[in-house]
Amino acid sequence: MPGDDKHVENFAFGQRGTRATVHIGLVNNMPDASLRTTELQFARLLKEAAGGFDVRLHLFALPEIRRSDEARARMDGFYADAATIPEAGIDALIVTGVEQYADRLSDEPYWRALTRLMDWAAAGTVTTLFSGQAAHVAVQHYDGIRRRALPKKLSGVFASLRAAEDALLAGVPARATTPHSRKHGVLENDLSSHGYRVLARLMDGSVDLFVREGRSRLVFLQGHPEYGAETLGRDYLGDMARFLEGEGERPQIPENYFDRVTENTLLSLAGRNAQIADYMEVVTGAVPLQSWRGTTLRLFANWIASIAAEKPRRRIARAAATHRSP
């Protein structure tokens, strides 16, 4: 599992040697098949969004998550144990979702380690960003808010409408787009009754982006703005492969993602004895437009800037508290 070098610096972006150095930890909980892709998606995103800041990305993992021997061997030396984060000098965290096996999230073997990390993050970071299912784990742990099953999987690229003014959304259009791929969601009434503030909603009124203020600013994304252009297509193929093997219902084609010709071709395969190779040929030949990339870069540039701005204020506050101590 994670290698012996507990404080390995995996990626460095932006203006090195500047006064504004930001250390971000990525707690990558994704399954083996998506582990490397997720790592690179966030690394590329932070690189493009770093601007004039010196951003250092550090990789962490929870040993309690199921991994193949091959995946553990690849992670060795690159990923540190997430239990070492409190001593690693991290300013902010990104926490990804986890594949669910148990009927209840709280019955998963990683639950105790992940929620212990969340407790530390709520006070020990400048800000922590929870992505996808990690947002559901976090609100359940912090405030007992249970996610709800959706009538069908929400998959596609959807309009996201600004619901409140916030520095995190500076320069972001009031109507943007973001990818979603999920079977559950949290209700706005449940969030607002516990002090969360919704910053963006989808067209159907459901929550997209929300925050909770405290010693650390907690940011929650139900969508996946970090996705690459091809990610929803791969996700669809995974669902289709499981369906063709007799597991679950036929997946819906991701909405607002493929061009009309590709959609029609995929629909036509349903009336034939098509195999997964037929679907792969169509999907891999498509060229989806990554319409959300500009918005995502602005969002993460704002997030990085907020970390850099808050660090010196915290340093001054700590120094003042130390000076007051007898």
For 253-280, write each residue's pLDDT tens digit: 999 999 999 999 999 998 788 999 999 9
In a 3-state reduction of DSSP, which class is residue 21?
Answer: strand
CA distance 36 to 33: 8
Report whether 101 contacts 108 (CB < 8 A).
Answer: yes
pLDDT at 102: 72
pLDDT at 19: 59
Structure token digits, residue 106: 């709280």
Residue 122, CB-side half-sphere exposure with 13 Å CA sphere? 15
Task: Out of 94-103, 165-174, 190-199, 296-305, pick the least confident.
Answer: 94-103
Task: Out of 210-224, 261-275, 295-309, pick the least confident.
Answer: 261-275
Report whether 147 contacts 184 (CB < 8 A).
Answer: yes
User: Domain ranges in the chain?
Assistant: 11-228+290-324, 231-285
Structure token digits, residue 217: 């600013």
Rounded to a whole number of angstroms, the CA Rg of the chain reads 20
Q: Which helix (H) or strand (E) holds 61?
A: strand 54-61
Bigger pLDDT: 5 or 115?
115
Strand partners of residue 13 = 55
**Mean pLDDT across 108-127:** 93
- Check pLDDT > 60 for residue 57: yes
pLDDT at 325: 54
Closest CA to 219 of 116, 111, 310, 303: 303
11-228+290-324: which CATH topology? Rossmann fold (3.40.50)
Q: Where are the beta strands (DSSP E) in 103-196?
A: 127-131, 148-162, 175-185
In a 3-state reduction of DSSP, which class is residue 17?
Answer: coil
Q: Express as a percent the part of the chain with pLDDT over 70.
A: 91
Closest CA to 82 of 43, 128, 37: 128
CA distance 32 to 307: 30
Structure token digits, residue 100: 């669910």
DSSP label at residue 64? T
Report whether 43 contacts 77 (CB < 8 A).
Answer: no
Summary mean pLDDT of the chain:
90
- Check pLDDT > 90 for residue 190: yes
Q: Tens digits of per-residue pLDDT, 172-188?
A: 999 999 999 999 999 99
